[in-house]
Amino acid sequence: MRIHIERVDDIPVVYGLLQKMGIQANIDRVIEPHGQGLSPSWVITIWLLHSNSRKADRKRMRGEFS
């Protein structure tokens, strides 16, 4: 029997967790958007996704995830 394991990208998983936690709605309640472009909640969500993804990549490169 052969088992094939595929890596699941972490960005959709973390984004789903942020949605369940209501991060964007909470940020929108606290910080009022001003001007055009992305709302502060989207900027923070994208930043969280990016920083978390980079952290996971660094751990993979060092071999901390096996």
Closest CA to 31 of 21, 43, 20: 43
pLDDT at 6: 65
> Does residue 2 lie within any of the structural domains?
no
pLDDT per position as a tens digit, 2-52 = 887 666 677 888 899 999 999 999 999 999 888 888 899 999 999 988 888
> Does residue 26 lie within any of the structural domains?
yes
> Does residue 21 lie within any of the structural domains?
yes
For residue 46, the enclosing domain spans 10-30+38-62
Domains contained in the chain, number: 1
> Does residue 45 lie within any of the structural domains?
yes
> Does residue 1 lie within any of the structural domains?
no
